[in-house]
Structure formats: structure tokens, C-alpha cells
């Protein structure tokens, strides 16, 4: 029985108004401080991701900054890049590098919206760059991050995999 149900039950029974009031006063601060802690965590997580996107737009490699080394990153969809990567290095090597090596300049993100709930951050953005062949590349993304201790520990990505594949399959990578 949760505290609110107990209070209602005691009050209905007519024998517990003082007990119900005492219980209500004792429970309320705990719930309020827990709500403040959740709101604080959400604000902190949103700020971490917002700063990372600002850094990314300025040309920094933010993946090494925000992704936990053992992050689990899932790309939804079909095709060779879709699947689950079980480390930051696996994600960078097998999903990120094949695309980035075929771009003449880094992707530049344009953030549309960030939503937070508990330890989850949802980011909707688009990113664009020019390919090594001089053609434009643009894609729309929704990423869902679960945060822990200021780092992304789980990620889900939704994007146009056809646009991704078109660049990876038809462009030569830059020379190292």
C-alpha cells in the first residue's frame, strides 16, 4: 500500500486524522526532494548533451567525451550498419568511421529539440556535410540516450539508413 492509499484508508475509517496528517507531512518532503533530484539530474543531463552538440557544431569530436567506453549503441533499421555495438570503439569503427571517412569535412549538426525524463535524453537533430565527391549529404536523426554519471551508457539511433548507405557504398574514403 502506498502512503497516499494508507492516508485515505485511515481518514475514511474515521480513526486516523491525526495519524494521516502526520504521515502526509512525513512523506511529502521525501517525495519533493526526490522530485527535485530527478529534475536536477534531467537538467544536468540535458546540459551535458546540449554542450556536446555545441562542441560538435564547432568541430570537436564529442563522442569520446560523452560516450562511456562500454556504451551499448543500437542503430535501428535494416542494412549492414544496423545493429548493436557493445563499446564506444566498436560504434566509432564500424558505424561512424565508414561515413565520416567519406565526407570532405565533419558533419555539422543542427539541434531541433532535446527532451529529458529521468535518466533518458532524446535528441532530434539533422546533420549535413559535403562528401569526398563534392556532393551534399544530409540526414535527420533521433537519438535516445540513457545517462549514468554524466556519460551515455545506452544509445538508440534512428536515421535514414538509405542516405547513409548511399554515401558509404558510392564514395571512396579519404586517404589517411
Are 64 and 88 within 8 A, CB to CB? yes
- Domain boundaries along the sequence of the chain: 3-170
Interatomic CA distance for residues 3 and 174, integer angstroms: 62
In the DSSP assignment, the letter for residue 174 is P
Q: Determine the 3-state secondary structure of 53 from DSSP.
A: helix
Q: How many other CB atoms are found less than 10 A from the CB of residue 135?
A: 12
pLDDT of residue 160 exceeding 80, the answer is yes
pLDDT of residue 36 exceeding 60, the answer is no
pLDDT of residue 19 exceeding 70, the answer is no
**pLDDT tens figures, 103-113:** 999 999 999 99
Percent of the chain with pLDDT over 70: 77
pTM above 0.85, yes or no: no
Q: How many other CB atoms are found less than 10 A from the CB of residue 129?
A: 18
Residue with the bigger pLDDT between 21 and 74: it is 74
Query: Which residue intervals of 58-175 are DSSP H helices?
Result: 63-66, 88-91, 97-100, 161-170
CATH architecture label of 3-170:
Roll (3.10)
**pLDDT tens figures, 50-98:** 999 999 999 998 888 999 999 999 999 999 999 999 999 999 999 999 9
Bridging pattern class, strands 136-148 and 83-85? unpaired
pLDDT of residue 162: 96
Give the pLDDT band (50/70/90) at residue 26: low
Angstrom CA distances, 62 to 10, 68, 75, 78, 162, stand at 54, 12, 18, 26, 25
pLDDT of residue 7: 43
CA dihedral 60, 63, 68, 71 (to 10 degrees): 180
CA atoms within 13 A on the CB side of 79: 17
Angle at the Cα of 171 from the Cα atoms of 174 and 157, rounded to 5 degrees: 95
Which residues fall within 8 angstroms of residue 75, CB to CB, at 6 or more apart? 81, 82, 83, 84, 85, 95, 157, 159, 161
Backbone φ and ψ for 51, nearest 5 degrees, come out as -65, -40
Amino acid at each position: 500500500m502506498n502512503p497516499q492509499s494508507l492516508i485515505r484508508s485511515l481518514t475514511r475509517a474515521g480513526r486516523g486524522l491525526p495519524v494521516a496528517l502526520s504521515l502526509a507531512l512525513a512523506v511529502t518532503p521525501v517525495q519533493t526532494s526526490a522530485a527535485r533530484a530527478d529534475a536536477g539530474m534531467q537538467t544536468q543531463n540535458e546540459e551535458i548533451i546540449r554542450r556536446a552538440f555545441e562542441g560538435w557544431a564547432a568541430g570537436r569530436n564529442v563522442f569520446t567525451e560523452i560516450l562511456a567506453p562500454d556504451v551499448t549503441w543500437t542503430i535501428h533499421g535494416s542494412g549492414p550498419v544496423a545493429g548493436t555495438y557493445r563499446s564506444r570503439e566498436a560504434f566509432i569503427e564500424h558505424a561512424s568511421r565508414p561515413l565520416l571517412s567519406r565526407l570532405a569535412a565533419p558533419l555539422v549538426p543542427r539541434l531541433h529539440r532535446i527532451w529529458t525524463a529521468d535518466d533518458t535524453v532524446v535528441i532530434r537533430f539533422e546533420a549535413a556535410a559535403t562528401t569526398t565527391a563534392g556532393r551534399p549529404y544530409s540526414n535527420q536523426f533521433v537519438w535516445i540516450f540513457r545517462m549514468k554519471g554524466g556519460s551515455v551508457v545506452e544509445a538508440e539511433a534512428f536515421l535514414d539508413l538509405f542516405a547513409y548507405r548511399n554515401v558509404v557504398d558510392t564514395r571512396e574514403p579519404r586517404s589517411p
